[in-house]
Structure 1
Amino acid sequence: MDEVIALDGGRSYGLLTRAAGNRRRRAVVLFNPGLIHRTGAFRFHVRLARGLAARGFDVFRFDLPNTGDAPTGTHATKESVVDEVFDAIEARTGSRHFIIGGICSAADLGWKIALVDKRVVGLLLMDAMAVKNHWFRVGQLRLLLKRPPSSWPGMIMRFLRPKPAGLPGIMDFRDWPEPQQFKRQLAQLLERGVDTLAFYTGGVSYYLLHPGQLRTSYGAWRDHPRLQLEFWPEIDHILFSPLDRERVSARILQWMEGL
């Protein structure tokens, strides 16, 4: 059964799925991205939480204040919200170490929290930071060659069309460090012992189209034993297909078993 935990003086709440059997003494916190509720897209977080709980992990799901239709609350920053969440989970479970993250903006927040809170020992990132470089153009060329020649002129025009001045693009809503800063931060996390599983799907083709981009993005740390990178371009951003959700969940559970 899920346990309701009040946050911010009762202004919001989250759901704690208690670990079954032998507890791992590590709790998982899943953030919601954008307009997606704490349940995750198509209840993905619910099923994942139950699978993790069966393997000994306490799992907490909640709606971040001022994200989607969640109220603002009294916290000045999302970092302070997460700090309260960690304290609340520790008070109820005794867990002092956390594995955090989620999809899209939830992955971005997980990265930021891990850098400032040493209680974070693991990161689950789905469609997080990646460098858009020459490999992206190679990916675009691959897409072009897969289409009938009659569609090439229109695709080329879309590829080359500049963004209208003054209008925000999709990338403007992501909170990423500069590429070199990202690598320095990655080195800091890995040296601290933070394990990371990072998924990249075909749902972010506007900035990621080729696995070579990940080698550039993560640099010399790409093959570090604490870093697992998955590039699954056949899967969409919100895991619409039940088979895709099962496949991603199975990979996450496999990774968590090894922590």
Structure 2
Amino acid sequence: MSGAPKLQSLPEAASPDTASPGALPCHVAIIMDGNRRWAEARGLPVALGHKAGAEAVRRTIEACVQQGVGWLTLFAFSSENWLRPADEVKALTGLLRLYLRSEVATFAKEGIRLRVIGDRARFGTETVREIDQAEAVTAGGTRLNLNVALSYGARAEIVAAAQAIAAAAREGRLDPDAIDEASFARHLFTADMPDPDLIIRTSGEQRLSNFLLWQAAYAEFVFQDVLWPDYGAEHLARALRDFGRRERRFGARTG
């Protein structure tokens, strides 16, 4: 993202276009969809669609801080994305490394803690080292917990958790009768994170695409008909207002 503007210093006060009235979600998760279609509609290379999507990431991070959202999880690269054309995968992974290099200092300064969930080992030693360093540098951030899902697939996450629990039981470190939802969740990538209250998907598609299947059990969903590179603070505010109007019962009957 050479030459692109970096994340701006974040104001202490909320922006004028806030989501109130209504409850604010603690944790917002976003399936960022539409980079490819955005580029194709403009006759541009797909790589430029992903670059424009990175700018939308910056705007969305700023908006979450301004709105007071404490947790943001972005679905950036799925385990299935490895099956895309090699040049697109190369562009995506290169953009990831450039983003880490350009943003980590600002994240640390602005109190944003970055964590990556997913099978990071698939990105190679150098990229893994940069991810680890970015997480370490931003570990003290308390203003926004930013989780980026990379090489992530929810089914693989659940299978890995089941395998870890089975191994612990086989080795006598875990009583099978003691396994419950809480103990299972401790073996997921999101072990110490709250479940998402709100999941947003852009581009008009209405599916989870193997994202946070366990964690989304009682999430609210908002589907927005905007391609991700065009996403901004006003779109997030609309989604938060929609969330604030909903009655969350978590399976309990009312009336």
* Higher RCO, Cα 8 Å, sep 6+: 2
Please, what TM-score do these two structures have when normalized by structure 1? 0.36
Please, what TM-score do these two structures have when normalized by structure 2? 0.36
